[in-house]
Amino acid sequence: MQSRLGRLTRVEGTVPLSLRAGWGVGALGVALLFNTYATILLFYLTRVAGVAVLTAGTLLMIAKAYDFLTDLPMGIISDRTRSRFGRRRPWLLVGAFVCAGAFVMLFSTPAEWANFEKAAYVLAGLIVFNTGYTLFNVPHIAMPAEMSNSYDERTAIMSFRAVAIMIGTFTVIGVGPTLAAQFGGGNEGYELVGWLFGVLALVAMIACFFGTAGARATEHVTPRESPWGQIRTAASNVHFLKLAVFKLLTLLATGVAAGSVLFFIVDILGHSQSVMLWYALGGNLIMPLLAAPLFWVPFSRKVGKHRALMLATFGFMVGALWWWFVPTDEPVWLLFVRALILSFFGMGKLLLGMSLLPDVQEYDYLKTGLRREGVFAGAYNMVEKFAFMGAPVVIGVILGVLGYQSTVDAEAIQQDPGALTGIRISIAIVPSVCNLLAGIILLRWTLTREYLEELRAKRESA
């Protein structure tokens, strides 16, 4: 059966709802951990644990540089894995425990330690965390291309991941700072957040392992090339290169914007951290649950993924510029409205950008006959990590150069005007420019439904 599936080129039917949900719930665990890493960790390290902003940004960059080197090897390993659980699923289980355990460690950083000791502790936690993240995420995002070879069905599968990510993001942005604030906004509060999200993520990731037990899978096809040769030929895939540059730009924009929101709310608007609940409620829960199934999935089916994605990208660019003009006395309800608008376009970018990856993976199989979804998943993960590796560095450099002052235990402080301008640059200008460049790339996208059907027909007749 596995062998037949490995050779299959005809379009498969609908993937059962249980399998879509079983696969998608894994993204909830990833989102809980990754979004806390992207949106709260830098704030926690600099405002609660007392790590200097440039030091914290550098530690995150070093850890991500290591992490960056593990993705392609992990993709090749998962492609070649043979077990009674399939090629991908064993790694979901291993990665879940490693990733969640290191996450709890990071949010238990002793604030009273000396600077060098804290830096060493944080770096060790980051290395272990990123190792676990790779073990889980690379095999996880390789699975949709195997679960279905239907152009539109893969978008529907990815919609479960997109919604799970947004729910996880809401939980992080809304509940995280609010819960920490309820327990004093200091070390004790954030340690509680670390334990809560770590355990929830572990449960979701284990549920993904069991929930994908019946998923369609493909068999490893022994390549004619060495692992390095596979990487070289995969890198020659022009469609993947376009997708990689697009994702690099949009994810860098997302990472910089997301990491700046809490700074903007606390330092510019002067609100409590708990206001993040309202921002996250509109931006990461209400709108995503409506936008994905009611608009972006059917709209992309009608006009094509890349055209719908172009609308989402340029729409987000315009929305991001709004932050630059926000007055310091803006009411909370307007913050909520902006969250809804940005989330509408953000959900389109997230869902449709992800759904292009299985199309690229199928294109590679139809052209080469090789099943190397893991190689592309690893490369895709590298792009994600490179973007988010750069995001805290960009924020840290902008804020550090413009005079942002770190504090211990979330102490209230009035930042200089230059630092406040730096926050606006991070949340408005950087994301807008990145999305403009990303949208231009989509103008030359050619991997459409019709082209894949043509390639599939040629392979079946060969």
Give the CATH number of the domain where residue 144 resides: 1.20.1250.20
Residues in the chain where the model's pLDDT stays below 70: 1-13, 217-231, 233-234, 284, 407-412, 462
> What is residue 116's predicted lDDT score, i.e. its pLDDT?
84
Packed helices 238-263 and 373-401: angle between N→C axes, nearest 10 degrees: 40
> What is residue 439's predicted lDDT score, i.e. its pLDDT?
94
Question: Phi and psi for 412 in degrees, rounded to 5?
Answer: -70, 135
Dihedral of CA atoms 188, 190, 192, 193 in degrees, nearest 10, equals: 170
Whether residue 368 lies inside any domain: the answer is yes
What's the structural domain count of the chain?
A: 1
pTM (predicted TM-score): 0.74
> What is residue 271's predicted lDDT score, i.e. its pLDDT?
80
Whether residue 1 lies inside any domain: the answer is no
Whether residue 2 lies inside any domain: the answer is no
Structural domain of 364: 11-216+227-461
CA atoms within 13 A on the CB side of 239: 19
Whether residue 5 lies inside any domain: the answer is no
> What is residue 135's predicted lDDT score, i.e. its pLDDT?
94
> What is residue 374's predicted lDDT score, i.e. its pLDDT?
82
List C-alpha distances in Å: 133 to 158, 343, 384.
19, 25, 12
Whether residue 3 lies inside any domain: the answer is no
Whether residue 429 lies inside any domain: the answer is yes
